[in-house]
Amino acid sequence: MSKHDAIAAEGAVYFLFGATGDLARRKLFPALFSLYKEGKLAEDFAVIGLARRPRTNEQFRADVHESIGEFCRYKADDEALWNRFAEHFVYMPLDIKNVDGFRELSRLTVELDKKFDIPGNRLFYLALAPELFGPVSFNLRDGGMLESPGWNRLVIEKPFGYDLESARKLNTQLSQVFKEEEIYRIDHYLGKEMVQNIEVLRFSNAFFEPLWNNKHIANVQITLSETVGVEERGGYYDKSGALRDMVQNHMMQMLAMIAMEPPSRLHPEDIRDEKVKALRSLRPYETAAEVNQHVIRGQYSEGAVNGKPLSGYRQEDSVNPESSTETYFAARVYLDNFRWAGVPFYIRTGKRLPVKTTEIVIEFKNVPNNILFANRHELEPNLLVIRVNPMEGIYIKINAKKPGAENVVPVSMEFCQSCMVGINTPEAYERLLHDAGRGESTYFTRWDEVAQAWSFVDRIAAVWREGNASLQFYPAGSWGPERTDGLLAEDGFHWWPVNGQVEDNVIWISGGPK
């Protein structure tokens, strides 16, 4: 553990709005316990769980204990440690539309400040629907919750709006109460270890950064695939779709991390400035014809995996049987700047695909044809693969002579980060909660990042809304609509196998599949 990682968050009261919900149970309670166990959360903190339903402190703490037992990478088997931790948790039923409840909450907060010697710092975590962000913020202000001598920070979950117009309206509401530097918009993909490692990989290795441009890179492929369907989220997903649920946030953020210029300093605002510049460089689709040429919109139909039948999207619970919502998105995008001019970025995400993975593949340009070894061998391009999820690591493919033969073959080397840390790899929410508690905003999205991403995807959504793009179906368990392969084939490329698919013709130097 580095000295930087070990720094404890500042003493604060954490307000968890939506404390009886799924996000708190699966992610937030386990994250807080892990931080406490590792010394990143000192004794000068308190957590107030807030929701409509009545609950005693004892019931709330029992919920937290059950959550940790089921979802945390650490177990609460040290009774003394658990009791110290649980003492910091209290619960208060709250009607978020009633400002008097916030005044009562303010009185409870002052009591906890005194009890745990907290210097008046407040972190408000809104695990709520976006339409409630504004009203809750106004009641926090009007209920006297922002008048303490310490800092105030607002952490909010995606989706941040439904389009650029609704996002602007939401941001206007929040900015009446909080300053931009006090607003922490969570995209949990920015908390993933290998996404954060992109910066280190690029800017601390002399044999990567000089090649990170259109003179040496042929294309970039970003895949975020899920094997699950919409599960119990059919009602929400049918109003959202892959474009809003995955592309506007996760995919755009990973693209920006890959494409950004080196920041002048390792300072949150300088890093986020460069991400915004990258998103501003995205070439917008100007017409419906351009959207149809570069974008694929898909929806899974009935299929099967390993002989197990899978229903189609339109047969899922709470989904309109005539729904045109996309469960699959693929696109070819370009960044019109000096570094990336002419390099296609291929992005794809979807549900009911064969493999659960998130990977970024950097394909380098090949050596000149018919020169030296390329004259006698069919050489494959070099690849750098950043594996984000579920296995974390880096995979490199190069050409080398096959031992005992004259053949030149692809060989692979892999750094498996997950193998180093095993099951105790920190969760994304741990990192992000820890960062928010320290005021470290690098891996939270700034308003202008959100606005740029929305302005790009809104053009696509507008074409779809006007009925100018066909919906293509793909069997559940497949890699999406057939045309997805053609998107790359038009440019002379193909999708590279992703995590879980081993290339038969590759020799592993060490550590890889046998």
Neighbours of 57 (CB within 10 A): 14
**CB of 35 closer than 8 Å to CB of 131:** no
Token pair listed for 328: 């699959």
State phi, psi for 89 to the nearest 5 degrees. -105, 125
Pairing of strands 295-301, 328-333: antiparallel
Name, in order, each residue with C-beta under 8 angstroms of 216's C-beta and a sequence gap of 6 or more.
Answer: 364, 365
Is 298 buried (19+), middle (13-18) or exposed (0-12) by CB count in 10 A? buried
Q: Pick the catalytic residue from 88, 188, 250, 434.
A: 250
Between CA 158 and CA 60 the distance in angstroms is 25
Q: Is 250 a catalytic residue?
A: yes
- Checking phi first, is residue 217 left (phi over 0); if not, alpha (psi -120 to 50) or beta? beta
Q: What is the DSSP string of 6-68?
A: HPPBPPEEEEEETTTSHHIIIIIHHHHHHHHHTTSB-SSEEEEEEESS---HHHHHHHHHHHH
Q: What's CA 341's distance to the chain center, in Å?
A: 26
Between CA 514 and CA 512 the distance in angstroms is 6
Neighbours of 503 (CB within 10 A): 14
For residue 262, give the DSSP letter: P
Buried b (16+ CB within 10 A) or exposed e, 407-426: ebbbbbebeebbeeeeeeeb
Between CA 478 and CA 354 the distance in angstroms is 6
Residue with tokens 């602007």: 168
Residues involved in catalysis: 250
